[in-house]
Structure 1
C-alpha cells in the first residue's frame, strides 16, 4: 500500500507495472543508478519491492521464482473485479493464462498472453495510488502488435472496455491506433504494424512501458555504464520529445521518454 493508503483502480485500466528479475538486489542497483529510484518493502512479501521517485510509487520489482519458466520482462497489470472470470474470458478467446490466478498479499494476480503472444497481467484487489501518465508513474503503456483493432476487440471483451457501464474504460480509434482512457486521461495505446516478420524482440508483439525522464542522454549513458544496452535516441511519435529503448543486464526491456 502507498503512504496515502490503498486505492480502488478503474476497472479494466492499467493498475501497476512490475519487473520480475533473476536477482532482486542487482535489479534494484541497476534501476537506482539509471532512473534514480529508491526502494521500500512491498506488502507482497520479502521477495518484492516498490520503486519510489520523489516519495511516489512508480513500479514494482520482484524476484522471479525458479519454477516460473517466464522471461525477465516488464509486465503491465490491469485491474479486474474477478480474476477467475477474467481468466475464463481469456481462455475462451484462444489466449493463454500462464500463471495463476494466485493469492499475492492483499489481492490475486495472474500472467497471461494475448492471441498474438503479448504478455500482460491482471490484478483483483486494491492497489497503490497510481495511474499511467500521472506524476512519476509510467508516462505511457503501449501495445505494439500486428492488428491494433483486433487486439482492441480481445482486450475489450476481456476487460470490459467500452462496455458503457459506469467506472470502466473508454476506447476510441484515432489515426490508425486505439486509445484507451479511464474517463479522465489516456492510460494505454494500441498500435498495429508489420511486426510479424521482425526478428528483433523489441518489435515483436508486446506491451512497452515508457518511463519519464528529465535528461535522456544522462539516463542512457548511466544505463550503459551499469551494464545495460541502449538503442539510439529518436523522436517520439508526436515529435515533441525524445525516446530510447533500454535493455537491463537481465534482459528486461523498457523505454525512457523525455518531453
Structure 2
C-alpha cells in the first residue's frame, strides 16, 4: 500500500475531518470497467481519467469536474456490483470498530491509499456503504444545488437506521463539521449548513424477492432531460425498473445498468 498523503499539502483539497459524517463520494463496483465507462459515458455524458486508487479504477468527469468513481473490483473483492456512497470520517479504525460493535459488517478494509484510508461496510439491515478518512474531492457534496448525486437510504426502519449511522458517523453530535438530523414526513433527513445531504426512508424488506424493495443506499443522478436519458439507458442495455413523480413534482426513473447495478435518474 502507498503511504498516506496529508490532505492539507494538496492544493484545493479538503480533509474528511471538516465534513465528518457527510456523504463525500459515490463509486461503482463493476465487472467490466470498459463496458461500464461506455454505458455511463453515453447515458450521463461522463468522461473518464485514471483514478488515484490504483489500476482498474477510474474517475468520471462531467464538464471537467469529478462526479463519481468506477472500479473493476467486484470479482477481486467478491462484493456485489452496486453503486456505493462513501461518508467522510476522521478516523477509519474508530468508525470500523463502531460498525462492528453495532452489529454491522466491515467487508473490506480499512485499506490505505495515496490520499487516505477507506473501508466497505454494511449496516444491520444489509445496506452497503463506505467510509473514507483523508483528502476529499473539492466541491463534491451531496445535496448542494449542483451536486452530481444525492442519496436515499431505503431501510427497514428509518429511525433505527438513523441511530446506527448517527453513532457510527457522529451525526447530530455537535462536533465541528458534524451533520444535523431532522425529521420530515416520516423520513429522517441529513442536513448540513441548510443543505439536505441524504434522506432515510422506512419500508424496505430484507427478504424481499424484488431487489428494489431490499435495504440499500439508492444513488440519484440529476439529469436535464429525463426522457432522453432513460431512452439512451435502454438503448445501451439498461433496464427501467420503475418510474414515479416525487413529492416536489420531479420525475424519476429507477434503472439497472447492464451489469445489474441499481441507480435512479431524476429530473434536475
Structure 1 and Structure 2 fold alike (TM over 0.5): yes
Offset of residue 103 of structure 1: 1.1
Residue 6 of structure 1 is matched in structure 2 by 13
Tell me the TM-score normalized by structure 1.
0.94
Tell me if 1:247 matches 2:267. no
Contact 1:100 1:109 in 2 (8 A): yes
Structure 1 residues 1-259: aligned runs within 5 Å: 5-9=12-16, 10-64=19-73, 66-129=75-138, 130-134=140-144, 136-193=146-203, 195-196=205-206, 198-236=208-246, 238-259=247-268
- Residues 19-39 of structure 1 show CA distances to partners (whole Å, capped at 9, x for unaligned) of 011111110000001111111
| Aligned counterparts of 1:232 and 1:169: Cα–Cα separation in 2 | 31
What is the DSSP-based 3-state SS (H/G/I as helix, E as strand, rest coil) of the residue aligned with 1:90? helix
- Residues 143-190 of structure 1 show CA distances to partners (whole Å, capped at 9, x for unaligned) of 011100000000000000011122111001121000111223111110
Contact 1:59 1:137 in 2 (8 A): no
Contact 2:143 2:198 in 1 (8 A): no
Residues 124 and 191 (structure 1 numbering): CA distance in 2 closer, same or farther, change over 3 Å?
A: same
Offset of residue 114 of structure 1: 0.3
Contact 2:119 2:131 in 1 (8 A): yes
Offset of residue 43 of structure 1: 1.5
- Residues 102-153 of structure 1 show CA distances to partners (whole Å, capped at 9, x for unaligned) of 1122111101110011010000101111111336534420001110000000
Offset of residue 48 of structure 1: 1.1
Residues 139 and 116 (structure 1 numbering): CA distance in 2 closer, same or farther, change over 3 Å?
A: same
What is the DSSP-based 3-state SS (H/G/I as helix, E as strand, rest coil) of the residue aligned with 2:76? coil
- 5+ residue gaps, structure 2, are 1-6
| Aligned counterparts of 1:233 and 1:21: Cα–Cα separation in 2 | 24
- 5+ residue gaps, structure 1, are none
Contact 1:216 1:257 in 2 (8 A): yes
How many equivalent pairs are there? 257
Instruction: Quote the RMSD (CA, aligned, Å).
Output: 1.7
| Aligned counterparts of 1:65 and 1:196: Cα–Cα separation in 2 | 22
Tell me the TM-score normalized by structure 2.
0.91
Q: Which moved more, 1:18-27 or 1:64-73?
A: 64-73
